[in-house]
Structure 1
């Protein structure tokens, strides 16, 4: 089911992107599209507004069923976001479709709470692995994203099966994934290691800017413009303004051509990563649908291109490492993204991507694009916490006691 849903989604996404590229005038109607999508979500989408965070919360708490309507609504909303030029990704849609379909299966079969949690992890893995064509990374992501710094091996086999089968189904339905250039191997030396450490510091800094910028912009807009349709219309208007200011279509939609370009073009504009970060923060912060992975791939690859030129590293390797490490830091999933880099560009990216992803993950601190992620032990070590705490409830200062999570209303089916 995850593979079929991803295949349909990727087909529609390709059609929407092709149409927009040939009729760029449609971007001017993004504010109107935001008004319509927002009205649909305001009327029927309230129970699923949590998105990926709703899936993660359900894995831990199991006090609600994820509404099945999440799958078609997030698919439609994301395709429309891309059709009209919003800068968003696709992993969020795939994960939400996989989670809602998996929970529908769990409900039909009346499985135990433990099996339900394993099926939800499998749904996350199946969606992620099939939408990117990276089944092993998908399986690990389904386990790693749920709790920061801990893998739930009890769900490893279901997650692996769902991700591998999902990928096979997606490919069998005719979907062809992006092929990235393969960097040449670079021996690790003390000098190269020092360069990668500096690289990791820059990646962590950009990850913090992205995470904090997106969350704070979303909170600011929710406070100033409470009604979702108007908030999305305002965001759409801002994206149109940025588009005209930038003078290029490169920062609209997924931006895959620029990601591939970052692997081999030493003349890529130094500001490309900053432009994409701004476009994406405004798009997602104002409420448009989609994920963060592909935009973070764009930002990371473009940043890696620039850093490689500054540090004297191979440009293609810098783009590959930056692409994976930025998302690893922003999502707290260094292991999954290191594996994903190998699946996308080959083993020559090792050990560099593991080093940068791990260091950037630690430097990013206790924040991430998924505030519902739980943490059992602080990244810098120390004793186990008394309970699994969502990142959103973790105190800013370590000396502060963690606050109790706020009670939430049960979600209607």
Structure 2
């Protein structure tokens, strides 16, 4: 009994110690990545509208170097998921360098993409590396811990990051055995990145809305619409990547030609309104600036086009923008408060496209205030139910399908 207790204490001590280290290191890398990224985006906006003309040429230069020296890093998020599933794969540390620089290039030249892909890949890479120092604990547990730290350090939504890491690898199977170390790493990364000056988007909403039967029906309609939107994004991204790979089997030609097309369209559609992360659309919505009925669709299509070319980045922040601007449209149609529905779209389209439900509920609460939690729970539940198991993550597994 004493030996069993000692073994358990030693295991937990190792887990917590390494989790603290993961939170600190990943947060520092997130801050470096995030602050440089925001600076490059600001410079890019000053060079609009012509800078996206160089998106294709910049892409081919990066892709040449990436293919030559990146090795397994070129598998990107798929490699992180494979490691998280317990496959015997080593995530190369060079992945951190390549995905970081690649994403900086994407955004400097105006590509419509996100940034969470970098944070999750940084976290997964560092997590597995620290995990290799412990011979007694499964390395995939540290991949999950690192993913949470990466997400939390970038967005400073620690609870959402915890649930995202626990649920995204296998839908329907939560890894509660690493809940405490994941919590530790996530909160350390979030608080440290804040101390180090990384910006967080936050907008407090006080919902002036009673949950009457009619309001519940309207919220359900919103959730269904957001779910279909997220599913559409995930489906089009998968199909677009497959189509461009068949059309241009050579990744160098693919990123150049599709990059030139994407850059031209980004200039054509309102001189860069849909470039980069989409924070201009999000901040414009909550500042009550004019949002058109097609902002969400153009942002969706240009993000799909940019990512299908092979540019680095991610999908989540554009999904926030797509959901926010679609929420403005739905609010006007259904007669609901505009800012509340925009906030609901911010979280639930992300949840639909990633095929997660708890993470978007809490990201909504952490960004917009916990008074909104019941509204996020209702809308994200319907959004999740109507995404038809679509996901932006090709290696994501679904428990009840793999059990058959």
> One fold, TM greater than 0.5?
yes
2:94 aligns with: 69
Structure 1: distance between partners of 2:172 and 2:283: 31
Higher helix share: 2
Query: Offset at 1:207?
Result: 1.4
Structure 2: distance between partners of 1:165 and 1:185: 34
Q: Matches of residues 14-413 of structure 1 in structure 2 within 5 Å?
A: 14-24=38-48, 25-107=50-132, 109-112=133-136, 114=138, 116-265=139-288, 267-377=290-400, 385-386=403-404
Q: In 2, are the aligned partners of 1:185 and 1:348 still within 8 Å (CA)?
A: no
1:192-225 Cα shifts (integer Å, max 9, x gaps):
1111111122112211211111111111111111
Query: Offset at 1:181?
Result: 4.5
Query: Offset at 1:264?
Result: 4.8
Unaligned runs of 5+ in 2: 1-24
2:32 aligns with: 8
1:329-374 Cα shifts (integer Å, max 9, x gaps):
1101110110111100102322111111111112111221112111
1:101-152 Cα shifts (integer Å, max 9, x gaps):
1111122x143452x1221111000000110011111111110111112211
Query: Offset at 1:243?
Result: 1.8
SS in 1 for 2:85: helix
Q: In 1, are the aligned partners of 2:204 and 2:369 still within 8 Å (CA)?
A: no
SS in 1 for 2:400: coil
Structure 2: distance between partners of 1:86 and 1:230: 17
Q: In 1, are the aligned partners of 2:86 and 2:140 still within 8 Å (CA)?
A: no
Structure 1: distance between partners of 2:258 and 2:180: 41
1:295-317 Cα shifts (integer Å, max 9, x gaps):
00000000011101110010000
Q: In 2, are the aligned partners of 1:37 and 1:229 still within 8 Å (CA)?
A: no
Query: Offset at 1:155?
Result: 1.1
Structure 2: distance between partners of 1:173 and 1:204: 36
Structure 2: distance between partners of 1:148 and 1:231: 32
Structure 1: distance between partners of 2:358 and 2:35: 29
Q: In 2, are the aligned partners of 1:96 and 1:124 still within 8 Å (CA)?
A: yes
2:19 aligns with: none
Query: Offset at 1:32?
Result: 0.6
Q: In 1, are the aligned partners of 2:114 and 2:314 still within 8 Å (CA)?
A: yes
1:157-176 Cα shifts (integer Å, max 9, x gaps):
11111111111221121222
SS in 1 for 2:382: helix
Cα gap change, 1:129 to 1:102, in 2 (>3 Å): same
TM-score normalised to the size of structure 1? 0.89
Structure 1: distance between partners of 2:223 and 2:83: 33
Unaligned runs of 5+ in 1: 379-383, 387-413
TM-score normalised to the size of structure 2? 0.91
Cα gap change, 1:76 to 1:168, in 2 (>3 Å): same
Q: In 2, are the aligned partners of 1:264 and 1:316 still within 8 Å (CA)?
A: no
Structure 1: distance between partners of 2:167 and 2:256: 35
Moved over 6 A (4+): none
Q: In 1, are the aligned partners of 2:230 and 2:387 still within 8 Å (CA)?
A: yes
Structure 1: distance between partners of 2:165 and 2:198: 22
Q: In 1, are the aligned partners of 2:52 and 2:264 still within 8 Å (CA)?
A: no
Structure 2: distance between partners of 1:59 and 1:232: 28
